[in-house]
Amino acid sequence: MTDSVMTRLDPNSRAAARGWSDLTIRNLFIIPTIAFLIIFNIFPLLYSLGYSFTDFRASTNAPAKFIGLQNYRELLNDEFIWRNFTITAKYVIVSVAGQVIVGFGLAMLLNRDIPMKGLITTLLLLPMMLSMAVVGLFWKLLYDPSFGIINYALGLGKFEWLADPDMALYAIAITDIWMWSPFVMLLSLAGLSAVPKHLYEAAEIDRAGPFYTFFRITLPLVLPILMIAIIFRTMEAFKTFDLAYIMASQPTTELISIRLYKMAFLEWQTGKSSAFAYIVLVMVVAITNIYVKYLNKVKER
């Protein structure tokens, strides 16, 4: 790092002679944050990397024994872990697809002349600001087979939403869709409002049909922002813990985060769970990388 290009001031000017140099200020402003994040995010991860090669259990006082790659080998060969991954994949696909359909649909509707548009948009955005844990809790009341309002409103009788192993994951996904469609809607609205009006006028003059207009004008222009929403929601859905953990405790709803939590804090397999955490970490960093690439791309526009 060189300081010669940092300041635009002439080094001989009066301003540069007073106070701290720009280099000092830059370091003073940036280094504490970086240091804080390294100490509280990176260092712990290095710490657990060490444990991931041991059979350490935090619940006992037995010293950790080095077992090499055994944890990783066991995890990658464990068919139950693979089932957790399959469940998570199913959950991510269903809930993100649902959010895109509902969210983008809502955005298309709101992109017209709607009375009280601002107020309606704000109200629609409310669900995504709420706590996932608390949302999961009160959806349990809504889903209750006997006195829940959902079965009553839909006339489903005693339909088991959360107790049925095949249905529970979808029930959680529905709640996630309710909560996060507004996010996709918000980003899509931004994308839609950025589409130049003259393109639509030109399409109208050319007598282009609504489908043609949508697929050739609207969608391509909104896609970059929609992709941001999709990648971000994929990443978040992949990490889901609160919602599913609160709403159901079936083997069919055991997402990766829940398995990891149980392994680490209920079964106290600290060493093995550290290894598991690393496998998850690599996947998340990969998705983050794609996400940031898209963010920067959109920013440059």
Partner 1 sequence: MSAVRTPREVLLNRVAVVAVFVALFIMLAPIYWIASTSFKPRNLATTVPPTILFEPTVAPYVKTFVKRSQLRGPVEEEVYEAAPWWEQLVLDGGEKVVRSPSGEVKPSGYGQRFMNSLIVAVVSTIFAVSMGTLTAYGFSRFKVAGKDDWLFFILSTRMLPPVVVAIPMFLMYRVVGLNDTHLGLIILYTAFNLSFSVWIMKGFIDEIPREYEEAALVDGYTRMQAFFKIVLPEAMTGIAATAVFCFITAWNEYAFALIMTNRNAQTAPPFIPSQIGSGLPDWTVIAASTVLFLIPVAIFTFLLRNHLLRGMSFGAIRK
Name which position in 12, 62, 112, 209 contacts partner 1 (CB under 8 A).
Answer: 112
Cβ proximity to partner 1: between 33 and 77 the closer is 33
CA–CA dist 29, 128 (Å, integer)? 33
Q: Which stretch binds partner 1 (CB under 8 A): 81-89, 91-99, 213-221, 264-272?
A: 264-272
Name which position in 190, 195, 199, 217 contacts partner 1 (CB under 8 A).
Answer: 190
Cβ proximity to partner 1: between 161 and 166 the closer is 161
Q: Is the Cβ–Cβ distance between 173 and 163 less than 8 Å? A: no
Q: Which stretch binds partner 1 (CB under 8 A): 70-78, 88-96, 163-171, 268-276?
A: 268-276
* Residue window 116-135: x/- pattern of binding to partner 1, with contact defined by CB under 8 A: --x-xxxxxxxxxxxxxxx-
**Residue 32, interface with partner 1 (CB under 8 A)?**
yes
Cβ proximity to partner 1: between 94 and 238 the closer is 238
Q: Is the Cβ–Cβ distance between 57 and 271 less than 8 Å? A: yes
CB of 24 to partner 1, least distance (A): 9
Name which position in 68, 115, 207, 209 contacts partner 1 (CB under 8 A).
Answer: 115
Q: Which stretch binds partner 1 (CB under 8 A): 74-82, 162-170, 215-223, 265-273?
A: 265-273
Q: Which of residues 198-237 bind partner 1 (CB under 8 A)?
A: 200-201, 204, 225, 228, 235
With 0-12 CB in 10 A as exposed, 13-18 as middle and 19+ as buried, what is 95?
buried
Contacts of 222 (CB under 8 A, 6+ apart): 104, 188, 191, 192, 195
CB of 100 to partner 1, least distance (A): 15
Q: What separation in angstroms does the CA of 300 have from each of 164, 228, 275, 297?
A: 48, 14, 38, 5
Q: What separation in angstroms does the CA of 42 have from each of 17, 36, 47?
A: 38, 9, 9
Q: Name the DSSP class of 216.
A: I
CB of 6 to partner 1, least distance (A): 5
Q: How many helices (DSSP H) and strands (DSSP E) are in the chain?
A: 15, 0
Backbone angles phi, psi at 69, to 5 degrees: -90, 10
Name which position in 94, 167, 192, 246 contacts partner 1 (CB under 8 A).
Answer: 246
Name which position in 12, 41, 60, 77 contacts partner 1 (CB under 8 A).
Answer: 41
CA–CA dist 291, 43 (Å, integer)? 24
**Residue 298, interface with partner 1 (CB under 8 A)?**
yes
**Residue 152, interface with partner 1 (CB under 8 A)?**
yes
**Residue 79, interface with partner 1 (CB under 8 A)?**
no
Name which position in 71, 218, 234, 274 contacts partner 1 (CB under 8 A).
Answer: 274
| Region of residue 68 (phi > 0: left; psi between -120 and 50: alpha; otherwise: beta) | left
Backbone angles phi, psi at 64, to 5 degrees: -70, 140
